[in-house]
Structure 1
Amino acid sequence: MAVGREVPVGVSPWTHNVKCGMLVTCLYSMGTGLYQMTVLPSFILLVGGNNFDVGFAEGLQGMTNLISALPAGYVADKWSRKACIRIGCCFTLLSASCIIVAVLFAKPNASLPFAMLCASLGLQGISDGIINGPLVALMDDSCPTGRRSDVETANSMVYALSASVGPLLGLIVFVFSGDSWTLASMQRVIALGIAITLSAMIPACYMDDRYSLGEVSEAVHLQQPLTGGSPQEGERRKKTSCFGLITVPRVRLVMFCIEMILTTGAGMTVKFFPVFFKEEGHIRPVVLQGVFASLQLLTGVNTFVNNRLAKCCGRLQVIICCYVVGISCTSLLGLLKSYYTIPGVMLPIFMMRCTMQWSCGALMGSIIADYTPKASRGRWKALGSVTAMSLSDGELA
């Protein structure tokens, strides 16, 4: 999907807010990558006692994310993105305090630690809802239109590479803890992950609305032509497809609906994968940590490749191909029941599924940002938390 105009010469996309935002991404993904996708589901299962507790806790995080995201996006557009980010940091500190208490007093089938875990995940959902919309919107406001696919790709690669470091650190902890799913080993991994995650609040507080760009970061269809205007520019703004139903201003709505459908389906499975491989596949902790570390590395590489392909073939064409492969792999994971205990079959399919689907986020995010006016960008970025809610809430099904 073309951007519709050339990028102004001399306007760098690597502004103050973009750099700070990428540092937040690096530290946050490194910390959460250490425990959230691999250790936390098993930890909740141990403390809560059953699979419903895992789904309830994760679903609670998604619900609070949704409740806080939309008001935060509106306030960020009308008031200040900087203030919303700092309020979100306060909720992150509260969430960390609750999970530390849960880790310290954790034991099998314990009601108090489980309640603290639920409180922590609920507060984290509020924090994510407040930060993700305003923070990402401020990064988009600080990047010239036409360069967002590069910035989104770089940010996604930073996320993937940093998230791969987390499982590697967890792998080291499990190696020295006997390579078993013991309570003590999981407590160490979660505590280390929380410490790294909290460090992301420092660069987040340095982001400021004063460093955002002006008209060059406006939505593509609202920008003025670079050189006095041209008939082609006006024609681009009037262009439609699907019998006139999809206009340029509606592109972001179409992309959001697509993402909502995909994540609602993914929510049925994604957070249960670690528990599935532990219980059904009998995968050891070190192997699972290694798989998720490799998975994030592959996602980072594929994100870069997708960005290069998109410049030649188009962003939507690349996204569609990746999701076809990812959905096919998800179907195979459900159909190949006789191979559940064979890691050499199930793990490559799982890694292909996640790599292909996760590596499209940068392209989808850049399309939505390119066609969203600055005045409502915080609200539209906050809508991304609706898809995050679907990802978590689906686990209760």
Structure 2
Amino acid sequence: MKSQQRPPHNPEGVVRTYIKRVRAFSPNARIYLISIIIYGAGFGIHRILFNFFLRSLGYDETFMGLLSTVNSMTVLISALPMGYLADRLGRKSTLVLAVLLTGASIIFMVGFPSTGILIVTNILMGIGSSLGAVVSGPFMMENSGEEERTYLFSMQSGLQMAANSAGDWLGGYLPSWFGKIFNVSPVSSTAYAWAIGMAGALVISTVIPRLALRGDKEIHESRAAFAPIAFGRKHPGLLAKLLLPMFVTSIGAGLIMPFMNIFFSNVHQQPDPVIGALMAWGSLAMGVGLILAPAFADRYGKIRVVVFSQAISIPFLIILGFSPMFWMSAGAYFVRLTLMNMSTPVYQTFVMEQVEADSRAMVASLNSMVNSFGRAFSPVLSGWMQVNYGFGPPFTGTIITYIIAIGMYYAFFLRGKKRAV
């Protein structure tokens, strides 16, 4: 268990330290980051276009929320079994299987977009996402040293966001390109399907670098299937404190995050290319924040970064949801994304540091479960509220839950502490 102390200021300078930490990345870590770039680009295309694809087929926001719930519910239910499977298969095999399931699901759902197939493929996609979520943290812990660990976690998240940005930007134009190729409208289901199919192919191609990963450092077959139960019995208070704020945050995130493209389309009447560019720049801004986060964590401590970055993001969330002017809402979207999400890899590192090696995959499963729990239920509620009352109630709910979660981080890890963690 790591002592909860604030790291001392590094006199070498932020830039020099950052370069030194990145150079310390292991070969496995570097290969993994390459795979994250490819995966992020493909997933960015899918993310920006999938709701538009559903709308082109006649589905409404309620069904969009249902699919988001199905996906998140699958991640929730499968998290513990996938954590057990990840320990049995090993990190490399799990990482490969995760992108195969996700990519194949994306291609299949646009090839056969009936109601039943969309639900089934979102279940399979949820399983793939669950596998990726539970193995990522333990893999990076096992392929990094203490000094560069926070930098690796942040670089992974930052590069994925930057790749999402490229995918969002490309996704804004792909339907128009495919519309010209097939002589159909750029907002037709055919144009969207081919664009999203390209996203699925990109995700599957992530297998190539992941097959080049070296074997796991540890033998995982001997690990206990119920490691989180053992850890919970040993540290019940700590486990609850680590997971509860993320659970509350997930409830608020599920109310608005799956619908940001629909928000800018319905509320601000922006076309697909503008929304694609907006989300692309938003992902890029978030990626920059994620990459810079470890330097702040080194200087101020991990939990201080978590609490203050999320707290400062709240006013921008209010502007995003309630400003009548598009340019103000868009600007707030960029700042809010950067501030709220830059703490994610920092906190993920903190959680992994509190857990013994043989419990990491399974505790990562619990982490994935609580992150998925709120997202599994709130999108359906949000979809219903949007249809009946607009985006005001979902944004209000998100603001309230985020404030509660920030208060929990402060109360659990900062209040009464002379030094941040």
TM superposition score category, shorter chain reference: 0.7 to 0.9
**Equivalent position amino acid for 2:164 in 1:** A
Deviations 1:209-258 (A, max 9, x none): 53469xxxxxxxxxxxxxxxxxxxxxxxxxxxxxxxxx999656423222
When the two structures are superposed, what TM-score results if normalisation uses the length of structure 1? 0.78
What residue in structure 1 maps to residue 52 of structure 2?
Answer: 42
**Equivalent position amino acid for 1:373 in 2:** E
What residue in structure 1 maps to residue 210 of structure 2?
Answer: 204
**Equivalent position amino acid for 1:371 in 2:** Q
What residue in structure 1 maps to residue 397 of structure 2?
Answer: none
Q: Percent identity?
A: 18
Q: Call closer, same or farther: CA 1:204–1:390 in 2, change over 3 Å.
A: farther
CA drift at 1:269: 0.9
Task: Please point out which of 25, 42, 65 is paired with 2:36.
Answer: 25
Maintained 8 Å contact 2:102/2:203: no
CA distance in 2, matches of 1:319, 1:89: 29
CA distance in 1, matches of 2:108, 2:237: 41
Aligned residues: 349
Deviations 1:122-147 (A, max 9, x none): 10101111232124312211212342
Matched, 1:352 2:353: no
What residue in structure 2 maps to residue 155 of structure 1?
Answer: 156
Task: Please point out which of 192, 197, 208 is paired with 1:191.
Answer: 197
| SS in structure 2 at match of 1:39 | helix
Q: Call closer, same or farther: CA 1:158–1:334 in 2, change over 3 Å.
A: closer
CA drift at 1:75: 3.6
Task: Please point out which of 5, 11, 14 is paired with 2:25.
Answer: 14
Runs of 5+ consecutive residues of structure 2 not aligned to the other structure: 11-19, 220-233, 382-421
CA drift at 1:83: 4.1
CA drift at 1:12: 7.5
Q: Call closer, same or farther: CA 1:167–1:88 in 2, change over 3 Å.
A: closer
Q: Call closer, same or farther: CA 1:22–1:258 in 2, change over 3 Å.
A: same
- More divergent stretch after superposition (299-308 vs 269-278): 299-308
Maintained 8 Å contact 1:138/1:209: no
What residue in structure 2 maps to residue 81 of structure 1?
Answer: 91
Maintained 8 Å contact 1:149/1:362: yes
Maintained 8 Å contact 1:174/1:285: no
When the two structures are superposed, what TM-score results if normalisation uses the length of structure 2? 0.74
Deviations 1:368-396 (A, max 9, x none): 12221110110112223220342343101
Deviations 1:331-380 (A, max 9, x none): 334444xx1xx311221122222221122111111111222111011011
CA distance in 1, matches of 2:93, 2:163: 27
CA distance in 2, matches of 1:265, 1:282: 24
**Equivalent position amino acid for 1:65 in 2:** V
What residue in structure 2 maps to residue 56 of structure 1?
Answer: 66
CA distance in 2, matches of 1:3, 1:18: 26
**Residues 62-77 of structure 1: pairs in structure 2 closer than 5 A:** 62-77=72-87
**Equivalent position amino acid for 1:118 in 2:** I
Structure 1 or 2: larger helix share?
Answer: 2
Q: Call closer, same or farther: CA 1:122–1:17 in 2, change over 3 Å.
A: same
**Residues 246-261 of structure 1: pairs in structure 2 closer than 5 A:** 253-261=240-248
**Residues 366-385 of structure 1: pairs in structure 2 closer than 5 A:** 366-385=349-368
Maintained 8 Å contact 1:295/1:351: yes
Task: Please point out which of 299, 307, 311 is paired with 1:324.
Answer: 311
**Residues 158-169 of structure 1: pairs in structure 2 closer than 5 A:** 158-169=159-170
Q: Aligned-residue CA RMSD in angstroms?
A: 3.1
Q: Call closer, same or farther: CA 1:22–1:124 in 2, change over 3 Å.
A: same
